[in-house]
Amino acid sequence: MRAVQLVSETQGLQLVDWPMPDPKEGFNIIQVSHAALNHRDLWISKGRYAGIKYPVILGSDVCAFDENKRRVIVNPGFNWGDDPRVQSKSFHILGMPEHGSFAEYVSVPVQHIYSAPAHLTDAQVSALPLAGITAYRTLVIKCKPQAGENLLITGIGGGVALMVLQFALALKLNVYVSSSDHSKIEQAIQLGAKGGVNYLDSKWDVEVLDQSGGFDMIVDSAGGESFSKFPKICKPAARIAMYGGTNGVISNLSPQQLFWKQISIYGSTMGSPSEFAEMLSFIIQFKIIPIVDSIYELADFNSAFNRMNSKQQFGKIVLNVSK
Ligand SMILES: NC(=O)c1ccc[n+]([C@@H]2O[C@H](COP(=O)([O-])OP(=O)(O)OC[C@H]3O[C@@H](n4cnc5c(N)ncnc54)[C@H](OP(=O)(O)O)[C@@H]3O)[C@@H](O)[C@H]2O)c1
């Protein structure tokens, strides 16, 4: 079968001819239609991820067909464990260490396979799993939002960030966004955000405070220097939830602002199997359609990775594996 494989540290990603997965007890081999990229795939391809093994087929997100021709979606977070608060030590994600979805066939645990939401195209289904579960747990489970609250989502061009926006609009939150790109702020406003700022402007915090009057929640994937400005733009009793650290170490965070305003900071990673099922029900109930930025043929995977690397996307970048 054709597959996009991270061959070795020096040889990088290549389109290879690779044997079909071996049948395994408790696993189903499903035929991939579309597979979406996550920033995780980019980090791994750059060697910036813990425990990289070679060779490995990347890809955590998939829309596929099972042996009965049922269209399916897969929860990519394996071995969550028994504690709903945190994943177990053996938790891992489809697409390293196990071979992932950038291939014509992928083998996945049976209990991780769900019927795909009928209102979505194959590309939209593939755009949903990892971003969807991460966004759902970060916003809905951790922040416990109430209708009418103010939410800031940073880096709105990101796949997870956009899912947070769509969930937040369904929950009737007042959403503000930040981005490095003015046109992405405009696109977010067209989707229903109330305003937005460019996080590269030194006064972005003052501007977004002016626009919103302050935030009950901030959802962030960047960390870094900007994070230290969050407490200042938070209302009392605000919740800050973060699922990524694209911009590195957080510094200069004022303890006084945190404790005086009774601010909570949550770290969040993907979600449990029951949260994945809840997320799918939420998507179906509100007829949410994940935003697909672009679709590339499998053989054109380099263009897809380059688009993510240069932050050009607004939404998910998808590979059409059947082509
Ligand atoms: N913990 C988890 O379970 C989990 C799950 C998924 C992702 N993640 C992590 O979350 C991050 C985003 O993942 P993704 O798949 O959504 O990535 P993505 O689709 O590639 O989006 C990345 C976005 O990050 C934004 N960004 C970059 N630098 C920023 C900064 N300094 N301040 C604010 N935003 C910034 C950019 O937004 P603009 O284009 O709007 O500027 C960019 O489009 C990655 O670090 C990823 O590893 C973690």
How far away, in angstroms, is 141 Cα from ligand 1 center? 20
The pLDDT tens digits for 273-289 are: 999 999 999 999 999 99
Are residues 137 and 71 both part of a single domain?
Answer: no
Work out how many domains the chain is built from and give that number: 2
44: domain CATH number is: 3.90.180.10
Q: What residues contact 11, with CB distance under 8 A and at least 6 apart?
A: none
| Helix pair 159-170, 129-136: axis angle to 10 deg | 50
Hey, which of 160, 165, 220 would you mutate to test ligand 1's pocket, going by the most ligand atoms within 8 Å of its Cβ? 160
For residues 24 and 22, what is the distance between their CA atoms, to the nearest angstrom? 6
| Ligand 1 geometric centre to CA of 156 (Å) | 8
Average pLDDT over residues 51-65: 97
pLDDT band for 34, please (50, 70, 90 cuts). very high
Question: What's the gap in Å between 22 CA and the centre of ligand 1?
Answer: 34
Q: Please write the tens of the pLDDT for every residue from 69-113.
A: 999 999 999 999 999 999 999 999 999 999 999 999 999 999 999
The answer to whether 95 and 76 are in contact (CB under 8 A) is yes
Residue 18 to residue 172: CA distance in whole angstroms: 47
- What mean pLDDT comes out for the span 238-243? 98
Half-sphere exposure of 132 (CA within 13 A, CB side): 31
Mean pLDDT for the stretch of residues 164-176: 98
Residues 122 and 139 in one domain: no
How many angstroms separate the alpha carbon of residue 223 from the centre of ligand 1?
Answer: 10
In this prediction, residue 263 has a pLDDT band, given cuts at 50, 70 and 90, of very high
pLDDT of residue 36: 98
Do 292 and 146 touch, CB atoms closer than 8 A? no
Please give the Cα distance from 185 to 196 (Å, whole number).
Answer: 6
Measured in Å, residue 305 CA sits from the centre of ligand 1 at 14
Q: How far does the centroid of ligand 1 lie from the alpha carbon of residue 160, in Å?
A: 7
Domain for residue 38, yes or no? yes
Which CATH number goes with the domain that contains 241? 3.40.50.720
| 292: pLDDT strictly greater than 90 | yes
**Contacts by residues 182-188 (CB-CB < 8 Å, ≥ 24 positions apart):** 184/156, 184/157, 184/314, 185/156, 187/314, 188/156, 188/162
pTM greater than 0.75 (yes/no): yes
Residue 93 structure tokens: 């994600």
Q: Is 39 in the pocket of ligand 1 (CB under 6 A)?
A: yes
Do 142 and 41 lie in one domain? The reply is: no
* CA-based nearest residue to 60, from 119, 112, 13: 112
- Tell which residue, 105, 46, 107, has the closest CA to residue 76: 107
Using only the alpha carbons of the chain, give its radius of gyration: 19
Which residue owns the Cα nearest ligand 1 atom 18? Answer: 158
Q: Are residues 209 and 108 in the same domain?
A: no
Q: Is the C-beta atom of 311 inside 6 A of ligand 1?
A: yes
pLDDT band with cut points at 50, 70 and 90 for residue 323: confident
Task: Give pLDDT, residue 4.
Answer: 98
The pLDDT of residue 306:
98
State pLDDT tens for residues 127-163: 999 999 999 999 999 999 999 999 999 999 999 999 9
226 and 152 in a single domain? The answer is yes
**Distance from C-alpha of 72 to C-alpha of 117, rounded to nearest angstrom:** 8
Which 3 state secondary structure label does DSSP give 279? Answer: helix
Any ligand 1 atom below 6 A from CB of 224: yes
262 in any annotated domain: yes
Indicate if ligand 1 lies below 6 Å from the C-beta of 196.
no
* Residue 110 and residue 235 in one domain: no
Query: Is residue 226 in contact with ligand 1, taking CB distance under 6 Å?
Result: yes
State which residues form the domain around 103. 2-128+290-320
pLDDT of residue 50: 93
134 CB less than 6 Å from ligand 1?
A: yes
| Beta bridge partners of residue 320, listed in sequence order | 34, 297
> Is residue 273 situated within a structural domain?
no
Q: What distance lies between CA 164 and its chain's CA centroid?
A: 9
* Tokens at 9, concatenated: 């540290």
Q: How far apart are CA 209 and CA 63, in angstroms?
A: 40
Residue 31 lies in a domain: yes
Report whether residue 107 contacts ligand 1, using a CB cutoff of 6 Å: no
Supply the pLDDT for residue 164.
Answer: 98
- Single out the residue of 249, 210, 247, 209 nearest to residue 231, CA to CA: 209
- Would residue 103 count as lying in a domain? yes
In this prediction, residues 233-259 reach a mean pLDDT of 96
Looking at residue 167, its pLDDT comes to 98
pLDDT > 70 in the chain, percent? 100
